[in-house]
Amino acid sequence: MATEAEAFSWSCTMPEKKASSFDRRRPQATLEADGMGKRKIPVEVARALKKAEADRSSGYMSADELLEAEGQIEEQCAWQKTAETLNRRDCTVSELTKRLAERGYGRPAIDSALAIAQKKHLVDDRRYAKRFCEQKIRAGWGRRKIELELARRGVALGEDIGWSEAAGDEDEAEHALALARRKHVSSGNEYQKLVRYLAGRGYSFELATRAAKQALAERRGSEDI
């Protein structure tokens, strides 16, 4: 006579190798269990579930054991994927959340992985914002462009982190003027071209016009000497 575990059956079907998705979600495995229907789970979780059952001396899992194993394995795999991502590059909390969700991880597993990463100081939005500001300021970006790009990564300057905290003692006006001094523009409408250039780099219209005027005045002054 079949035991309760033997009577309960489940299976994981892996996605086809050429499976694709238009919503950027990674191809996922399908978990089907008696009385639970079908649902999608991350591929790596499906592989680990199969291995967990194969390693059991009985070779069977009950419904409760399957759910418990799935939850534990999903958390372990979510943390592993988080660590792998952070080993490649620094990320914000929002970026990591999106990456894990696209792989099919549920909110509990995502929150668990992020909690571990934050406890280990591997992910820190304040640190990320400060480094990002420093790098982009050196590259000649203005505040507006930096704020826009950070917002795309889930960090809102002015709400989460103050600009002065992230940018430090950097003088945005001095950076705008330095860019304007270095920028070569062809003759004819030099002022408008400089303003457009600086605005395109993320500087406010006020800073762009001020820097363009000063840079052009300095050039004309040196030409008169």
Residue 21 has pLDDT above 90, yes or no: no
| Nearest-angstrom CA–CA distance, 170 and 65 | 57
The larger pLDDT score, comparing residue 18 to residue 116, is at 116
Predicted confidence at residue 119, as pLDDT, reads: 96
DSSP the chain: ---HHHH--EEEEPPPTT---TTSPPP-EEEEETTTEEEEE-HHHHHHHHHHHHHSSS----HHHHHHHHHHHHHHHHHHHHHHHHHHS---HHHHHHHHHHTT--HHHHHHHHHHHHHTTS--HHHHHHHHHHHHHHTT--HHHHHHHHHHTT--BTTTB-HHHHHTT--HHHHHHHHHHH----SSSHHHHHHHHHHHTT--HHHHHHHHHHHHHHHHHHHH-
Residue 169 has pLDDT above 80, yes or no: no
Which range, of 28-37, 68-77, 169-178, 215-224, averages the lowest pLDDT? 215-224
Residue 73 has pLDDT above 80, yes or no: yes
Residue 54 has pLDDT above 90, yes or no: no
Predicted confidence at residue 2, as pLDDT, reads: 44
Predicted confidence at residue 99, as pLDDT, reads: 95
Q: What is the pLDDT of residues 96-153, one digit of tens each?
A: 999 999 999 999 999 999 999 999 999 999 999 989 988 898 888 998 999 999 999 9
Q: What is the mean pLDDT of the chain?
A: 86
Q: For 100, how many CA atoms within 13 A lie in the half-sphere containing its CB?
A: 31
| Nearest-angstrom CA–CA distance, 192 and 190 | 6
Tokens of 131: 């480094």
